Copies of this chain bind each other. A is one copy, B any other.
Amino acid sequence: MAKILTTKKQTKSAVITKVASLLFREKGYNAASMRELAEQLNVEAPSLYNHINSKAELLRNICGEVAEAFTNNLDEITEEPISSSKKLEKLIRFHIKTTLSNFDMLFVANHEWRHLPEPWLSEFLQQRKNYENRMVQIIKQGILAGEFKNHQPQVAALTILSALRGLEFWQKYNKLNNVKALENNIVQQLLTGIIK
């Protein structure tokens, strides 16, 4: 009769959610079974339900936590008295850092959100849309201030977000390379392009 191991700081449901992040990333939400999740925690599947309400809620908690982290960061950036290009740069750096440090959760939030049941799905998409819109605003301000090229702001925002969402591929570089150097490299490329 094994037990779910916790450290002092985290609840059992937090531990389950963490392992679920890993599993959902590796196999996808639907292909990952509760029995498999339980096995990784050295416990039988029904035991999980002493700590969580449903599989779907695990996904919701993962997506919600990610969305909240990014929203909070954007709140902070928005209030800072810095130029639009500095704001954009800070936003990009936060994406990169978070991707490298919270790989599993971020991957799940980026790729498995469509399996959220309603009303969580609509909530999540609304948060995403808000985030995009606020980023578009920053770019618009940068164009007005003469800092940015006169691109379509929405195209610019979504192209950058696209690039940042694909950053999962850099996870393996987390230990190999100098993370800061990688971050700088990506920031430079997204802001100023590749052509001389």
- With a CB–CB cut-off of 8 A, which chain B residues contact A152? 185
Q: Is the CB of A195 within 8 A of B155?
A: no
Instruction: Give A40 to B159 CA distance when docked, in angstroms.
Output: 34
CA distance A169 to B142 in the complex (A): 23
Among residues of B, the one whose C-beta sits closest to the C-beta of A32 is B30
Tell me if A's interface is mostly helix, strand, loop or mixed: helix
Any B CB within 8 A of the CB of A121? no
The answer for the CA separation of A152 and B189 in the assembled complex, in Å, is 10
Among A122-170, those with CB < 8 Å from B are 139, 142, 146-149, 151-152, 155-156, 158-167, 169-170
Contact check, A28 vs B115: say whether CB atoms are below 8 A apart.
yes
Contact A156 B111 (CB under 8 A): no
Do the beta carbons of B167 and A155 come within 8 Å of each other? no
CA distance in complex: A139, B194 (Å): 9
Contacts of A149 on B, CB cut-off 8 Å? 188, 192-196
Number of copies: 2
The answer for the CA separation of A109 and B74 in the assembled complex, in Å, is: 32
Q: Is residue A191 within 8 Å, beta carbon to beta carbon, of the partner chain? A: yes
| Cβ B193 vs Cβ A193 within 8 A | yes
Tell me if A170 and B194 are in contact (CB < 8 A): no
Flag if B28 contacts A194 (CB, 8 Å): no
A148 in complex: contacting residue of B161, B167, B185, B195, CB < 8 Å: B195
Which residues of the partner chain B approach A166 to less than 8 Å between Cβ atoms?
158-159, 161-163, 165-166
Additional pairs, 17, CB under 8 Å, beyond known A28-B28, A149-B194, A155-B186: A28-B30, A28-B114, A31-B115, A139-B194, A142-B194, A147-B195, A155-B182, A158-B169, A159-B189, A161-B166, A162-B163, A162-B166, A162-B167, A163-B163, A190-B193, A192-B192, A193-B193
Binding site for B on A (CB under 8 A): 27-31, 85, 88, 111, 114-115, 139, 142, 146-149, 151-152, 155-156, 158-167, 169-170, 182, 185-186, 188-196
